[in-house]
Amino acid sequence: MRWSKTVTLVEAHAEGEVGRIVTGGVIDVPGATIADKLRHLNEVDDSLRRFLVFEPRASAQMSTCLIFPPTRPDADIAFIILQGDKAHAMSGSNSICLTTVLLETGMLPMVEPETIVRIETASGLVTARATCRNGKCERVTLTMNPSYADQLDAVVDVEGYGKVKVDIAYGGIFYALIDPAQLGLEIRPDQAKKLVEAGSAIHRAVNAQLTIAHPEIEAIKGISYTMFVSHNAAGELKGATIMPPGRIDRSPCGTGNSARLAVAAARGLAKPGDRFTARSIIDSTFEVTYASDTTVAGRPAVQPIISGRGWIHGIHQIGVDPTDPYQLGYSVSDTWGDAFDLMN
292 among known catalytic residues: no
- Choose among 100, 167, 168, 159: nearest CA to 135: 100
Q: Is 91 a catalytic site residue?
A: yes
Sign of CA dihedral 82, 243, 325, 319: positive
Number of C-beta neighbours around residue 159 at 10 A: 10
From CA 73, how far away is CA 278, in angstroms rounded? 33
Say if residues 86 and 42 touch (Cβ distance below 8 Å).
yes
Active-site hit among 253, 280, 284, 331: 253
User: In angstroms, how far is CA 47 from the centroid of its own chain?
Assistant: 21
- Helix ranges (DSSP H) in the chain: 34-43, 47-53, 92-104, 192-209, 254-266, 333-336
DSSP summary character for residue 100: H
The neighbour count for residue 21, using CB atoms within 10 Å, is: 25
φ and ψ of 137, to 5 deg: -85, 100
CB atoms within 10 A of CB 217: 18
| C-alpha dist (Å) from residue 174 to 6, 225, 293 | 34, 7, 19
Burial group, residue 40, by CB count within 10 angstroms (0-12, 13-18, 19+): middle
Q: What is the torsion angle, in degrees rounded to the nearest 10, for the CA atoms of residue 130, residue 70, residue 218 and residue 88?
A: -50
Cis geometry, peptide bond prior to residue 113 (ω within 30 degrees of 0): yes
Catalytic residue among 63, 91, 123, 251: 91
Catalytic sites, residue numbers: 91, 253
